[in-house]
């Protein structure tokens, strides 16, 4: 079975029920029919110009692109931009189905460090080196680990809109009132103690916000960094599944207990967006999540706690560092028939000039972080992002994508297993963890099922 057939088969046969799963067969047929009818992205807009259809994720930074797109159109009046903005889980399902079936709905897709090298190897993405070498795009300005993660065989296949690791965000004012001090390098045991002290039902404030929403890019992102720093792993070097090991059980039990005892209400349905809202509205005392959140938390137009947030490295246990690495990025599918116009938009949205435009039009704390070195040399950004700029860069540069945990691993990546089957495997495992957070089953029961899924994936994928 080819990789294309493999992913298509998983989309049709292997997904089960639940909100974070792949779209249905009927929906896929609808997508294909739509494509065949010529309703997809790209091509002539009818007035001699080009239409570029962009699939993007519904988060504040990506939504800023839509707000500023009229500026792009001032420079490119012959290019019509159409956005399809989706929640993270739905975006992954829709874009994966579209690109694996060659449906051609989109001219630009928003993907990350997990998809880029796999899809590039499959021949699904357009190489960007030739485009990026022209004009003043300056690809050498892209932060090294981020550019490396978005490349395959030394060619860049996606341009980073922003890069991120993870760190602990905490309310400095609440720590001071409680007489607490955040260590320079906190452990997860420290964090649990702080959460217990700061959890306050009378003030409707959780001790900590942690993702519980199913989805490999939701609850598994922070949980996997815990598993790694506790000494756990998904597979060993021989692709023997290890999700029922004592280390994984200890990490998962800790995570589930922490969020159930001192986390936010409705935790099984809370992802990045919900925790951002909780923290920004003063309803959580701490939040362990993506470094990109800092810009939104320091924006006084949307955050009630701007200026009150401290930033500490990702909590550790058995490792020196524990952050993840991710970059939401823009790529051009090979199926696009408007590649040149698509690159015009991609290069604009990921350029130095765009970063300055965001700062001048929307505020300097909202400049996309973690993608370009030159951003950290802008005086206005240095002043506005002084609290979180250095912690963000430190977190990204401390990530070891080859061995992020205690054990060697046969893939490159931190919060995911870099194989095509992980999108399905991770989704199913995340549903079991979310069910444990909801109290529908024990952690042992969840991990027993997860171990079975992982063993089946390794066997059926031919890794063993």
244-278 core/surface letters (b: 16 or more CB in 10 A; e: else): bbebbbbbbbbbbebbeebbbeebbebbbbbbbbb
Q: What is the DSSP letter of 329?
A: E
Which of 44 and 425 is assigned the larger pLDDT? 425
12 — pLDDT class (breaks 50, 70, 90): very low
Helix (H, G, I), strand (E, B) or coil at 70: helix
46 — pLDDT class (breaks 50, 70, 90): low
Angle 45-47-51 from CA coordinates, rounded to 5°: 20
Overall average pLDDT of the 15-32 stretch: 30
Q: What CATH number should be reported for the domain whose range is 166-323+399-461? A: 3.40.190.10
Q: 206 is written with which tokens?
A: 């959780």
Q: What is the pLDDT of residue 344?
A: 97
402 — pLDDT class (breaks 50, 70, 90): confident
pTM of this structure: 0.81
Which of 20 and 258 is assigned the larger pLDDT? 258
316 — pLDDT class (breaks 50, 70, 90): very high
Q: What is the pLDDT of residue 365?
A: 87
**Is the pLDDT reported for residue 6 higher than 80?**
no
Q: 48 is written with which tokens?
A: 């001699």
Tell me the C-alpha distance between 375 and 353, whole Å: 10
Overall average pLDDT of the 414-431 stretch: 95
Tell me the C-alpha distance between 396 and 145, whole Å: 8
Q: What is the pLDDT of residue 177?
A: 98
Sign of the four-CA dihedral 415, 222, 170, 320: negative
CATH 3.50.50.60 fits 50-164+326-385, yes or no: no
Residue-averaged pLDDT of the chain = 89
Q: What is the pLDDT of residue 36?
A: 31
Bridge partners for 109 per DSSP = 55, 331
**Is the pLDDT reported for residue 11 higher than 60?**
no
**Is the pLDDT reported for residue 350 higher than 60?**
yes
Share of the chain above pLDDT 70, in %: 90
Tell me the C-alpha distance between 448 and 452, whole Å: 6
Overall average pLDDT of the 183-190 stretch: 98
Q: Which residues neighbour 36 within 8 Å (Cβ) at sequence distance 6 or greater? A: none
Q: 230 is written with which tokens?
A: 């506790």
Give tens-digit pLDDT for 81-111.
999 999 888 898 899 999 989 899 999 999 9
Residue ranges, comma separated, of all CATH 3.40.190.10 domains in the chain are 50-164+326-385, 166-323+399-461
**Is the pLDDT reported for residue 15 higher than 60?**
no
**Is the pLDDT reported for residue 380 higher than 50?**
yes
Overall average pLDDT of the 182-194 stretch: 98
Overall average pLDDT of the 238-266 stretch: 98
98 and 23 Cβ atoms separated by less than 8 Å? no
HSE of 54, CA atoms in CB hemisphere, 13 A: 27
Overall average pLDDT of the 24-52 stretch: 47
Q: What is the pLDDT of residue 279?
A: 98
**Is the pLDDT reported for residue 8 higher than 70?**
no
Q: What is the pLDDT of residue 44?
A: 54
Which of 14 and 152 is assigned the larger pLDDT? 152
Give tens-digit pLDDT for 120-136.
999 999 999 999 999 89
254 and 226 Cβ atoms separated by less than 8 Å? yes
Q: What is the pLDDT of residue 315?
A: 98
């Amino acid at each position: 079975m080819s990789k294309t057939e493999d992913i298509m088969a998983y989309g049709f046969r292997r997904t089960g029920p639940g909100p974070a799963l792949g779209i249905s067969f009927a929906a896929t047929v609808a997508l294909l029919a739509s494509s065949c009818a010529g309703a997809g992205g790209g091509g002539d807009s009818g007035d001699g110009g080009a239409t570029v259809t962009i699939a993007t994720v519904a988060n504040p930074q990506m939504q800023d692109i839509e707000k500023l797109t009229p500026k792009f159109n001032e420079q490119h009046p012959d290019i019509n931009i159409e956005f399809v903005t989706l929640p993270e889980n739905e975006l992954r399902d829709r874009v994966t189905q579209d690109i694996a079936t060659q449906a051609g709905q989109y001219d630009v897709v928003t993907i990350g460090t997990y998809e880029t090298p796999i899809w590039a190897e499959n021949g699904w993405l357009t190489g960007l080196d030739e485009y990026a070498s022209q004009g003043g795009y300056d690809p050498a300005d892209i932060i090294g680990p981020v550019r490396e993660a978005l490349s395959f065989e030394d060619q860049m296949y996606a341009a980073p809109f922003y890069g991120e690791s993870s760190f602990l965000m905490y309310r400095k004012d609440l720590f001071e009132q409680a007489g607490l001090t955040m260590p320079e390098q906190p452990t997860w045991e420290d964090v649990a103690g702080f959460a217990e002290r700061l959890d306050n039902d009378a003030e409707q404030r959780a001790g900590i916000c942690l993702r519980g929403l199913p989805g490999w890019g939701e609850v598994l992102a922070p949980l996997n960094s815990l598993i790694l720093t506790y000494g756990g792993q998904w597979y060993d070097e021989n692709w023997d599944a290890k999700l029922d090991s004592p280390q994984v059980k200890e990490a998962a039990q800790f995570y589930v207990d922490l969020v159930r005892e001192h986390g936010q209400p409705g935790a099984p349905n809370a992802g990045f967006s919900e925790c951002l809202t909780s923290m920004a509205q003063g309803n959580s005392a701490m939040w362990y999540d993506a470094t990109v959140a800092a810009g939104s938390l320091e924006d006084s137009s949307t955050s009630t706690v701007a200026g009150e947030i401290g930033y500490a490295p990702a909590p550790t246990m058995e490792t020196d560092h524990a952050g993840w690495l991710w970059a939401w990025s823009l790529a051009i599918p090979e199926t696009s028939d408007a590649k040149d116009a698509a690159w015009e938009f991609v290069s604009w949205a990921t350029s130095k000039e765009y970063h300055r435009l965001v700062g001048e039009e929307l505020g300097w704390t909202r400049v996309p972080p973690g993608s370009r070195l030159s951003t950290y040399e802008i005086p206005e950004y240095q002043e506005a992002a002084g609290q979180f700029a250095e912690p963000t860069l430190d977190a990204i540069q401390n990530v070891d994508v080859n061995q992020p945990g205690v054990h060697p691993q046969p893939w490159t990546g931190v919060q995911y297993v870099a194989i095509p089957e992980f999108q399905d495997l991770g989704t199913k495992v995340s549903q079991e963890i979310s069910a444990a957070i909801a109290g529908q089953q024990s952690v042992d029961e969840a991990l027993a099922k997860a171990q079975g899924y992982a063993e089946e994936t390794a066997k059926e994928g031919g890794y063993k």
